[in-house]
């Protein structure tokens, strides 16, 4: 038997302005030695494992699952830990203050305009990911 290890990492906006958190998953499977004799079979095993690692990381980044499920390659394994510093957490006060200031300076946006763009009724309902994306857009707009 040989082991194939695949890993995937993705950075997501962190709690503080201009910070990030990393989400990483490494997975390993054992396959029969004969897989090495067929380059196509080996390549397919690697691609399948990497695709599953990537899909799981992307799902963790996207948010909590409605119904937890185990990846196809696990039989009775543990569910992944809930992600830290996730996208659904509310934006920090520093992040909101910076967003309001930047919106006012670079695009003449009022707090109501920012709420409308975020699709929320209160500043406290803006998530870290939303605030980060809006800050990035405003910075690009200001640089143009």
What pLDDT is stored for residue 68 in this prediction?
43
pLDDT grade for 142, boundaries at 50, 70 and 90: low
Q: Where are the beta strands (DSSP E) in 19-70?
A: 20-31
**Mean pLDDT value of segment 129-137:** 89
The pLDDT assigned to 83 comes to 41
Q: For residue 125, what are the contacts with CB-CB under 8 A and spacing of at least 6? A: 90, 118
Q: Which of 14-23, 94-103, 130-139 has the lowest mean pLDDT?
A: 14-23
122 pLDDT band (50/70/90 cuts)? confident
Q: Is residue 138 classed as helix, strand or coil in its secondary structure?
A: helix
Distance of alpha carbon 114 from the chain centroid: 23
Separation between Cα atoms, residue 51 and residue 106, nearest integer Å: 40
Whether the per-residue pLDDT at 95 is higher than 80: the answer is yes
- 23-27, 85-89, 134-138 — which is least confidently predicted? 85-89
- Residues pairing with 13 in the sheet: 20
SS3 126: coil
Q: Residue 118 and residue 93: Cα distance in Å, rounded?
A: 16
Query: Residue 139 and residue 144: Cα distance in Å, rounded?
Result: 9
pLDDT of res. 89? 87
Measure the CA–CA gap between 124 and 105, rounded to whole angstroms: 21
Distance between first and last Cα of the chain:
56
Q: What is the pLDDT of residue 82?
A: 41
Instruction: Kindly report whether the global pTM for this prediction surpasses the value 0.75.
Output: no
């Amino acid at each position: 038997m040989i082991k194939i290890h695949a890993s995937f990492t993705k950075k997501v906006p962190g709690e503080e302005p201009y910070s990030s958190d990393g989400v990483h998953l490494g997975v390993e499977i054992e396959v029969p030695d004969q897989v090495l004799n067929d380059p196509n079979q080996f390549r397919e095993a690697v691609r399948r494992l990497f695709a599953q690692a990537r899909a799981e990381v992307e799902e963790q980044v996207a948010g909590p699952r409605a119904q937890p499920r185990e990846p196809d390659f696990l039989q009775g394994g543990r569910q992944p830990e809930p992600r830290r510093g996730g996208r659904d957490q509310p934006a920090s006060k520093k992040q909101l203050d910076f967003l309001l200031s930047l919106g006012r300076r670079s695009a003449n946006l009022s707090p109501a305009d920012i709420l409308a763009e975020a699709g929320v009724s209160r500043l406290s309902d803006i998530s870290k990911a939303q605030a980060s994306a809006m800050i990035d857009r405003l910075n690009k707009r200001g640089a143009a």
